[in-house]
Structure 1
Amino acid sequence: MPDSTHLSNKGISASKSPMRIDLEIYYEAMENLYHSETNPDGALPMNVAENHLCWDMLRNRIEKVTRENTIPDWVASYTDPAGAPSFREATGEFFSKFLMHVPVNPDSLAFSGGATSTIEMTSFLLANPGDTAVIPAPSYPVYTGDIGTLPEVKRFDLQVPSMPLSSEYQFDLQLLQDAKEKIEANGSAFRMLILTQPDNPTGRIYSEDFLRKIADWCIEHQIHLIVNEIYGLSQLDIKNPSLNKYYPEVSPFISFGKIMAEYQSPFLHFWYSFSKDFGISGFRIGVLHSHNEDLIHAYRNAGLGHSISNYTQWVIQEVLLDHDFLKAFFKSFQQKLTESYLIVSQTLQNLNIPFNPSRGSLFVWMDLSEFLDEESLKGEEKLWLEIYEKTGILITPTNGFGHTEKGWYRIVITSLNHEELKVAMKRLSDFIQIKRKG
């Protein structure tokens, strides 16, 4: 056992607190990947939120940029810690045309090295140590570390029932008021409300009307509302003939950036990263959008150590300026994402496994509570490991999502190609049928 007495208190805590509990098994699975010919019994990791569906298409475009263009001189020099001016302009145009559909001022954007860095920086600048961020549960487990490890912001999981299953989020705002009173009674301050849309893990979205109600409530109580649209363009084609019957009456997806443009409030903010929609998590590009000028200035002044490589900014800038390519790219991505969703959702329907109907994201949130030996974290972990050991399918364990309802698991539908996904669903079907036979 390593001696950690030479570390700071935070260092000791970090050394004993893994970022997520499934990483060790994930690395094991990555050493034994399925291949139809050379390793047909190999593992099928579906626990890490990566999007591999259109990488070949994007890689070709990136290679064209680097092959046909001379690297500009500014790439080799220091630039604005919040992002090179030309990169901020290109991103503003991208947001305006493809996501928010309103003009976006480049000066309202600040970049850092990945979504984690953006979340950490924003939390550090908006909240004091010991303050609380409220997050509707179930939600992204690693928010806990992102807001807590360095900013020392506490996480409060707002319990939003999973039933009835729906593709839209809707909850009584009294839940926020109750949370505020509880947090304050415990000596903390309700400082931030974090929403994700489309949601991780449920794939739900928030209607424009509901977003406005939440924004009004937060402004009234001077609470910072942050909407994370890291999956903003990872939307399903719900008009697909195989899907449209499941969405008889739905609200259109409206980016929170559009609402922010109208409100111009210092309490409304927006997160994005290129990791998921573009499938380039390794490029490490996260962005904060806010009309709070003080926050953007603070981000710039404190963010030098979180800056993105100028070379990365230049390459992606050139891609972002090619709107014809982006239009084709996202059309292809939506088609492939929808097909992935159909492969998984139709399998679950055939097995009578409940799941949350999704509007987007890279996931399906499914209810396997039928197979729990006991309704506890221990019971959930036992089933999660059993699925991996008997099928080679590694899904995301529920530990950390913050929900009190037991037996729900997240499955990433974009980490495998469609043929691999069909293999995974065949293995899952066989496992469930055997479990039901006892």
Structure 2
Amino acid sequence: MQEKNHLSDRGQMAAGKPLRMDLEIYNEAMQNRYYPSSNPDGAFPMTVAENHLCWEMLRNKMQEISRNQEIPEWVASYGDPAGVLTFREAISGFLGEFLVKDKIDPNTLACSVGATSVIEMTSFLLAEPGDTAVIPAPSYPVYTADIGVMAGLKRFDLQTHHEVSELVNGFPITLSHLENAKKEIEEKGTRFRMLILTSPDNPTGGIYSENQLVQIADWCEKEEIHLIVNEIYGLAIINVDHPEIREDYPKAIEFKSFGRIMKKRQSPYLHLWYSLSKDFGISGYRVGILHSYNEQLIAGYRNIGLTHAISNHTQWLLQEVLTDQAFVKKYLESFQEALTKSYIIVRQTLKKLKIPFNPSYGSLFVWMDLSGLLENQTDEDQHQLWLEIFRQTGILLTPGNGFGHSKKGMFRIVITSVTHEELEVAMERFEKFYLEKNSETN
């Protein structure tokens, strides 16, 4: 007898479609994590974009605040759904000082529970169901759900390159790419409504130059398309002048926040996303931020944002952290130094094995090409290689499936989810696997 369905069509779709293809194996890896003394044969979950490098430093600061300060009265009451004013003032001061490097009006900010919420809310308010968001490939797989589940947008993966070597001088995106995408989308009977860029990028670690952002902003404003730059990794910057990696950046690009361009233009078509999840490694605190000079967008965000509002206690605690700019400066310096060290550990192994990869400017990732280990350039062979790496080494990577890119055999490795010591063990295991597998393949 067929089981009775108790859900709506939307509910059935949600129940039957996992959030991520790797979630089950990720949970398996987490339950068998590597520990040098108690579980030396354990696994290394390096698939979820989490940053654990300087958590102890941040936790100590939070514990100090909680010990020494009383929780204010307003924490127990309702507040502004887009973030209470004191919190938005703290966020504006932090972003102005460390990311945008220019003053930001707190009234241009709206906050909600995590980056996913910000993406969903922005998409809901800017676009109609059935509209299309263009995203240069490869890109974050879960953008598909973030823009699609509630807002009903379609995702268009814009192919700008095939080989990782084509990224050596930055993203090869041109206005011709955008024009062609617009034509293709309109021929399919939908509307190119949003362009989403991530800088530093997930998964490639690349960044967009200021000149690129200016040109793309010009085009988007002319075409009345909303340009959103996701700078969720905006302070996860690798020191490309470090002597061990300097040679990888013959024409180094300087990261400059899109917020500077936005402030000059104050256009209703230009927006920025940020979150405390990655740079501060506190994804569990659920803090996402929209920055926009579009007053209607901010008003709409506030009017429907109650179900997405951040806990007042979280807002209070984090505003106390962020207003201590001396601490934030010290924290970011420590984090960027630790991030650079993690990157160097992974890069050394990839260079030794002559594995193609994109030299990263920032983010929590390295994007590498393992296509040489595939018998056939297919999604199925890529999936099987992913499983084989995990079963034989305990290293859980993210395969290219879902990133929307044309090249098979690409894998993302999260370099900040384990300690430096653990990362070195993982790379030793990976090297052993690669040499054995490569000898079999060739």
The answer to whether the superposition gives a TM-score over 0.5 is yes
Distance in 2 (CA, whole Å) between partners of 1:46 and 1:228 is 22
Q: Contact conserved, 1:119 with 1:146, CA < 8 A, in 2?
A: yes
Matched ranges for 1:23-422 at <5 A: 23-161=23-161, 162-166=164-168, 168-422=170-424
Q: CA deviation at 1:167?
A: 5.7
Indicate the SS of the match to 1:139: coil
Q: Which amino acid aligns with 1:166?
A: V
**Which residue identity lines up with residue 129 of structure 1 in the other structure?**
P
Does the 8 A contact of 1:166 with 1:204 survive in 2?
Answer: no
> What residue identity is the alignment partner of 2:337?
Q
Aligned mates of 1:394, 1:414 — CA distance in 2: 13
The answer (yes or no) to whether the contact 2:137–2:404 under 8 Å persists in 1 is yes
Any idea what SS the aligned residue of 1:168 has? coil
Deviations along 1:235-277, whole A, 9 cap, x unmatched? 0011111121221222211000111001100000000010000
The answer (yes or no) to whether the contact 1:167–1:358 under 8 Å persists in 2 is no
More moved, 370-379 vs 161-170: 161-170
Please give the secondary structure, in 2, of the residue aligned with 1:205. Answer: coil
| Comparing 242-251 and 352-361, the one that deviates more | 242-251
- SS at 2:411's partner residue? strand
Report if aligned partners of 1:275, 1:281 keep a CA contact under 8 Å in 2: yes
SS, match of residue 167 in structure 2: coil
Equivalent-residue separation in structure 1 for 2:54 and 2:369 (angstroms):
29
Offset at residue 5 of structure 1 (A): 2.3
What letter matches 1:102 in structure 2? D
Residues 263-305 of structure 1: per-residue CA shift (max 9 Å, x gap) = 1000000000100000000000001000000000000001100
Q: 1:57 to 1:70 in 2, by over 3 A?
A: same
Which string of whole-angstrom CA distances, capped at 9 and with x for unpartnered residues, describes residues 206-257 of structure 1?
0000000000000000000000000000000111111212212222110001
For residues 214 and 50 of structure 1, the distance between their equivalents in structure 2, rounded to whole angstroms, comes to 30
- Paired with 2:2 and 2:120, the residues of 1 have a C-alpha distance of 28
Checking the alignment, whether the CA contact within 8 Å between 1:395 and 1:410 is kept in structure 2 is yes
Query: Sequence identity of aligned pairs in percent?
Result: 59
- Give ranges in structure 1 of 5+ residues lacking alignment: none
Alpha-carbon distance, 1:4 to partner? 6.9
Write the distance in 2 (CA, Å) between the matches of 1:10 and 1:58: 40
The number of aligned residues is 438
- The answer to whether the Cα contact below 8 Å between 2:206 and 2:361 also exists between their aligned partners in 1 is yes
Spell out, residue by residue over 1:63-84, the C-alpha distance to the aligned partner (whole angstroms, 9 max, x if none).
Answer: 0111100111110101100001
TM-score, with length taken from structure 1? 0.99
Amino acid at match of 1:156: F
Q: Deviation string for 1:122-170 (max 9, x for gaps)?
A: 0000000000000000000000000001111000000021332326223
- Matched residue SS, 1:56: helix
Question: What one-letter code is carried by the residue in structure 1 that aligns with 2:176?
Answer: Q
Quote the offset at 1:7 in angstroms.
Answer: 1.1
1-side partners of 2:71 and 2:59: how far apart? 18
Distance 1:127 1:39 in 2: 49
Moved more, 368-377 or 338-347: 368-377
Contact kept? 2:169, 2:251, Cα under 8 Å: no
TM-score by length of 2: 0.98
Give the Cα–Cα distance (whole angstroms) in 2 for the partners of residues 144 and 82 of structure 1.
24
CA contact (8 A) 1:82 1:112 kept: yes
Find 1:436's aligned residue among 406, 425, 438.
438
> Shift of residue 85 of structure 1?
0.3
Gaps of 5+ in 2: none
Shifted more, 155-164 versus 312-321: the winner is 155-164
Q: In the TM superposition, what is the alpha-carbon distance from 1:173 to its structure 2 partner? A: 1.1
In structure 2, C-alpha distance between the alignment counterparts of 1:390 and 1:109, rounded to whole Å:
47
Alignment partners' CA distance in 1, 2:102 and 2:4: 51
User: Which secondary structure state, in structure 2, belongs to the residue aligned with residue 336 of structure 1?
Assistant: helix
CA distance in 1, matches of 2:171, 2:264: 22
Query: How far apart are residue 111 of structure 1 and its match?
Result: 0.5
Matched letter for residue 411 of structure 2? Y
